[in-house]
Structure formats: C-alpha cells, structure tokens
C-alpha cells in the first residue's frame, strides 16, 4: 500500500520540490497550504505550483487550502487520512520581516507547529520531518558549522521560532518514545527544477538574494541592494552556503527513510560545505544569464551575520545524502526558471519556451 505523507506548506518553493521527489520515490503526498506564498490557479482553485507538478509528473495530487492555525480544519484532515509521516514546511520565513514583526512570527510559526504536533499525537501519527534552518546557530562560533555547534543564540525572531519549534519536537520525542523526528537545518536553497516549470516565486519584493538577482537580470527590478560590504569576508560581502533546492528535496526523502529506523529525534545539516559571497553569486548569475546585474552597496541589515556555511558530513554518513549540484548548475537552473517564467507563476500554465 502506498504511504501517504502530509506536506504542510507544500505549494511553496521548497515544499513543491519535495512533492516532486516524494512522487518519484513512490509516496503519495497530500498537500496543504494557505496561499501566503503561493499563486492560485484560477480554474481549479489550486496552487499553480501543484498544478504544474501534476502535469510534469502526469498524476493527480490531493490539495487542501488550510492554515495550520485552523485547528478544527487540521483535525478534519487527520480524520480523513491515515498518514505515515508529516513533512512540515509551513511558516513565515523572512529574516528582515521577522525583526519588524516579531509577534506575528511567534504567533504564526509557533502556534501552527504546536497545533500540528498535538493533532499528530491525537491521531497516532508519530513520524515527522521538520524544515528547520541554519539560523538556529546564530553568529557562528566556528566554521564550518556542524550539528554540535551551540544553538539558540539566534540573531532574529525567525531563527528563534525555528529554534523553539526544534525544542518542542525534541522534548516531545523524549516524552513519547514511539515518536521519530528528523530536524533538517537548511543553509541557503537556490535553483529550480530542471524542467523550468517550478521554482522560487516570492510574492512581493524578494527577501532572499538569488530571486532578487534573477529578477534584476530579467528586468523586473532595476538594481540589487548589497547589504553591507564591510564584513570580514573575501570581498566584504556576506558569505553563505548555497544548496540546490533539488538536492535539498532529496535530503528530505533520505530523512523520511531514516524515520523507518525508529531513530528518535535526529538533527542534520543540509548544505554543501562551500561558502560564496554576495558578489561571487552576482558574478555567477551574470555568467548563467549573460546579463549585467546592476547593484549598489547599502547598509547592513539588522540580524545578518558575516559568514555561515555547513559541515554536511553527518548527513552523508547517516542519511547517505550528499549535495550533487555545483554553483554553475544552481545558477543555470535558476535562470532557466526565471527566463521561462519572467513574472513567476502568474504567467499561468504555459511558461515561455
């Protein structure tokens, strides 16, 4: 019998790519999303990302418009289905916005996760893959960052919500011995599916570097603001570990399989182990797109750090997972998505050739 996996936030950037990998791995994803960062496809009232995955994979995907703050709606869903596991992506995720709106981030991210955990417990669903973040490490005390690096010294409310949710899950797994959870600490996902059909389509002004760079290259934005050029890095701009979103999605499938070992609560970094600066990324995207990317130096953003890159060896050792795609491929796939979909999913169902 095919295993059903609930995917919260499954219409978003990372969630949608994981839906593809779940289908390829033989699972049946059931997707919920509240459209906070997804485009609605009019005829069927579906997220455009899920609509396109159905065409790409030649399948039907069960979708429910649901906010995890809606506890009765969540209960109803769990009564309808017998899930073998949950992949939890849903949540607000912009660092800068979290600094400006901390209470909103705490209310949405923590309450949604608490609702999910309680409903899972009530319906005997005890397997969870959680979408965490390298922001839980705060300002790095050493590089590269391994899973033993201290956590909790987060520099922004978004990171704190991820840390608090991790702690909730860890405590629950200690109390309930039949629970298994894998907490995946992402570094910086970029790129897109090689088909060009799905990718990152931020609603409004992009909060992340690469979508903004791509929108400058395609002409949707005039100029990139580089926040700070006085960090202690190779060129003064912030250094991050960028990982292809498909590599990241495959890491979730490896985590799902790890749950079957009754692993208890495990934590893994998903990154490449390589750090690239903002200006290095700009140059890489210029090469991929053949376009000049205009930028200006702006003041540092509150909550940002100088450098952050992973030690991903534990995931390779215990999950059998390792990032496969290099920087050139990440930028090529991102540019393919952006050039085929110059205005994102609002193009509708037929990307430009």
Pick the catalytic residue: 13, 158, 186, 231? 158
The single-letter DSSP state of residue 334 is H
Q: In whole angstroms, what is the distance from residue 35 CA to residue 122 CA?
A: 26
Contact 313, 189 (CB under 8 A): no
Distances (CA, A) of 196 to 175, 328, 353: 44, 16, 10
Q: Give the C-alpha separation, 171 to 111, whole Å.
A: 16
- Does 158 qualify as catalytic in the annotation? yes
CA distance 97 to 94: 5
Alpha-carbon radius of gyration of the chain: 19
Token pair 């700009």 in the structure block, residue: 282
Whether residue 144 has a cis bond before it, omega within 30° of 0: yes
Residue with tokens 């991903």: 312
CB 290 within 8 A of CB 219: no
Q: Mapped to the 3 state alphabet, what secondary structure does 91-153 carry?
A: CCCCHHHHHHCHHHHHHHHHHHHHHHHHHHHHCCCCEEEEEEEHHHHCCCCCCCECCCCCCCC
User: Would you please indicate which residues are annotated as catalytic (active-site) residues?
Assistant: 158
């Amino acid at each position: 019998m095919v295993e059903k996996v609930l995917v919260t936030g499954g219409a978003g950037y990372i969630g949608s790519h994981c839906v593809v990998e779940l289908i390829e791995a033989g699972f049946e994803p059931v997707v919920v999303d509240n459209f906070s960062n997804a485009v609605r496809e009019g005829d069927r009232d579906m997220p455009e990302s899920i609509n396109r995955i159905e065409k790409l994979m030649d399948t039907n995907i069960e979708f429910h418009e649901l906010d995890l703050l809606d506890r009765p709606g969540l209960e109803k869903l769990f009564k309808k289905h017998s899930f073998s596991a949950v992949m939890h992506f849903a949540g607000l995720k912009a660092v800068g916005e979290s600094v400006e709106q901390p209470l909103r981030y705490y209310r949405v991210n923590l309450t949604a996760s608490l609702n999910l955990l309680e409903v899972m417990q009530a319906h005997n669903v005890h397997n969870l893959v959680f979408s965490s973040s390298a922001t839980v490490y705060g300002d790095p005390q050493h590089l590269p960052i391994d899973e033993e690096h201290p956590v909790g010294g987060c520099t922004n409310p978004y990171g704190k919500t991820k840390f608090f949710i991790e702690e909730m899950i860890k405590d629950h797994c200690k109390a309930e011995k039949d629970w298994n959870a894998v907490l995946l600490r992402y570094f910086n996902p970029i790129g897109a599916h090689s088909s060009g059909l799905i990718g990152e389509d931020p609603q409004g002004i992009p909060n992340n570097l690469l979508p903004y760079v791509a929108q400058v290259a395609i002409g949707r934005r005039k100029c990139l603001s580089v926040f700070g050029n006085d960090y202690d890095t190779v060129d003064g701009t912030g250094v991050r570990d960028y990982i292809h979103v498909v590599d990241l999605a495959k890491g979730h499938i490896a985590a799902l399989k790890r749950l079957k070992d009754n692993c208890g609560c495990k934590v893994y970094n998903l990154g490449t182990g390589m750090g690239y600066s903002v200006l290095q990324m700009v140059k890489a995207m210029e090469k991929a797109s053949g376009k000049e990317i205009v930028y200006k130096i702006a003041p540092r953003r509150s909550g940002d750090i100088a450098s952050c890159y992973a030690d991903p060896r534990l995931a390779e050792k215990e999950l059998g997972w390792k990032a496969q795609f290099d920087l050139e491929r990440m930028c090529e796939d991102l540019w393919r998505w952006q050039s085929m979909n110059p205005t994102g999913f609002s193009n509708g169902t037929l990307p430009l050739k």
